[in-house]
């Protein structure tokens, strides 16, 4: 006997919160970070490091990055001198703000229009992020932002957990997008899916070892992926 009930099907966004790294994911600033680290090391009479080594720490907070690059440096005065030299040179280079990667501005606006909550999780300090957000006219664009100097540095998951708490979202409702193993490991520890971008600080081979849900070569590919893998079917009987 027929019950008289009908089946209603619809597709909805699997994710509600998109969490973005900043440097190397949204903004083409990797070369300036590498140069600023090198200048700071020279000013502090520390050994020069190659570009691969420096790119390997991008995503960490600056104190954590210094500790990885120069584990023998324990003098707080040297660490502070390094921090100042790095900040001064980076600010000098940022007299003209680093450019967004192609397609970023358009895609982020599209995500907002589609109803996603947008967040930033970055190794930058709060003052630095606020400065670049203002330069882009994005002071109030993102729903929430977290910086390494106000919470735990990546890959600790605290940054993501604070973002989820602010948005009232579960881990399965969020997606982390980043260009470093620190982004992907932070997402894994928080129980959040991740997408790796191959055009930033670290190579695609290193990123894929962290098993992201997807690897993209251009930012515009994220929108296409969300249209397919980022949806879930809802079935209801009426």
Residues known to be catalytic: 21, 23
Q: How many DSSP H helices and E strands does the chain contain?
A: 10, 8
Cβ distance 56 to 119 under 8 Å? no
- Tell me the C-alpha distance between 157 and 186, whole Å: 5
- DSSP, residue by residue, 39-53: HHHHHTTPPP--HHH
Q: H or E stretch including 215?
A: strand 214-216
Structure tokens, 165:
């708490």
Return the H-helix or E-strand segment holding 216: strand 214-216
Helix (H) or strand (E) holding 178: strand 174-178
Helices (H), the chain: 30-43, 51-55, 62-69, 76-93, 104-113, 126-135, 158-167, 181-190, 204-208, 221-228
């Amino acid at each position: 006997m027929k019950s008289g009930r009908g089946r209603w099907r619809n597709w909805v966004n699997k994710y509600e919160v998109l969490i973005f790294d900043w440097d190397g994911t949204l903004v083409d600033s990797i070369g300036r970070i590498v140069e600023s680290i090198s200048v700071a090391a020279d000013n502090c009479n520390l050994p020069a490091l190659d570009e691969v080594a420096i790119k390997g720490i991008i995503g960490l907070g600056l104190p954590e990055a210094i500790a990885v690059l120069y584990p023998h440096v324990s003098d707080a005065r040297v660490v502070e001198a390094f921090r100042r030299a790095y900040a001064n040179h980076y600010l000098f280079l940022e007299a003209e703000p680093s450019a967004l990667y192609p397609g970023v501005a358009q895609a982020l606006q599209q995500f907002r229009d589609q109803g996603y909550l947008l967040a930033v999780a970055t190794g930058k300090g709060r003052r630095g992020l606020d400065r670049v957000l203002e330069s882009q006219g994005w002071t109030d664009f993102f729903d929430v932002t977290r910086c390494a100097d106000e919470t735990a540095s990546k890959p600790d998951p605290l940054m993501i957990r604070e973002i989820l708490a602010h948005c009232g979202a579960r881990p399965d409702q969020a997606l982390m997008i980043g260009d470093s193993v620190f982004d992907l490991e932070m997402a894994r520890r928080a129980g959040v899916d991740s997408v790796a971008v191959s055009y930033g600080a670290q190579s695609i081979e290193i990123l894929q070892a962290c098993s992201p849900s997807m690897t993209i070569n251009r930012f515009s590919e994220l929108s296409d992926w969300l249209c397919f893998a980022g949806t879930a079917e809802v079935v209801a009987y009426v």
